[in-house]
Amino acid sequence: MILTVTLNTALDITYRVGALRPHASHRVSAVAERPGGKGVNVARVLAALGHQATVTGFAGGATGRAVRELLAGTAGVVDALLPVAGATRRTIAVVDERTGDTTQLNEPGPQIAPAEWGAFLDHYEELLPDASAVALCGSLPPGVPVGAYAGLIKAARSAGVPVLLDTSGEPLRRGVAARPDLVKPNTDELAELTGSHDPSRATQDARRRGARTVVASLGPQGLLALTPEGRWHAVPPGREHGNPTGAGDSAVAGLLSGLVEQLPWPDRLTRSVALSAATVRAPAAGEFDRAAYEKLLGQVAVTGGTTAA
């Protein structure tokens, strides 16, 4: 199984409105609720690709119960969340149907007590022996140490389990120093980490800081991968219009599934870009348009090769 860690799980709520206008009342045309947080989205996409995924992290309060009830109905996803006293956060996405733009509102998450964090560390180490890969995803809730991901990376490496890190800010900086197998920042996160706004230079810097492989999300320009085997750039056939929430998580699912299946890097990147683009066409995060995905697989352009990285 593939283990996804979402320390700051969420109930994702998506509202669709005809047109979003500041300082105005809006009539909502549709509402969708999904179990959320980056790693939960990753797990749902992995399950749709035929992989068994286990989700761990924290869940608490009425919102946490709603997340777990929704997860129980998701085929291929195993709930290994730990209960906490605080309430799981909500994230609100408001989709403007006229423009396709999405406005996102993210709550901070519950306060995690030291004893709850200690219980999670024990739980995580119990799950590692059965994992073929681990994804550490998203923000840290209040109370979790800023170096949490670095410790989780070291534990996975000690267990011989490849680990992917997808976070930002100081947790990313400390996590990279723990030498994860793969990091997947976007351009802003990569620039914050390295100080460079040139993705080519920034990916090299991120590797020097400790990451074995860096796959940078360039938005509509696809993915740039710097690996020990070489450098590749994968680009979708055109810009997608829709809800981009979860597109990066689908890319992570593509990378993880390709790692477990031992696909060549061009095939991993093709899958990731196609999944990301197909997610923009879907109504909610953690889902993708299957027909669009299968069509896009033949349209993603990959350049680069196995020269020294």
Residues with active-site annotation: 249
Largest distance between two CA atoms of the chain: 56
Q: Which two tokens stand for residue 235?
A: 């680009």
Amino acid at 216: A
DSSP conformation letters of 237-252: SS---S--TTHHHHHH
DSSP 8-state code for residue 21: -
Q: Which two tokens stand for residue 6?
A: 């979402």
- The C-alpha angle 15, 287, 270, rounded to 5 degrees, equals 130
Q: Which residues of 49-75 are buried (b: 16+ CB within 10 A; e: fewer)?
A: bebebbbbbbbbbebbebbbebbeebe
Q: Which residues of 195-223 are buried (b: 16+ CB within 10 A; e: fewer)?
A: eeeebeebbbbbbebbbebbbbbeeeebb
DSSP 8-state code for residue 262: T
For the chain, the C-alpha Rg in angstroms (whole number) is 18
Helix (H, G, I), strand (E, B) or coil at 306: coil
Whole-angstrom distance between the N-terminal and C-terminal Cα of the chain? Answer: 30
Strands 2-6 and 53-59: parallel
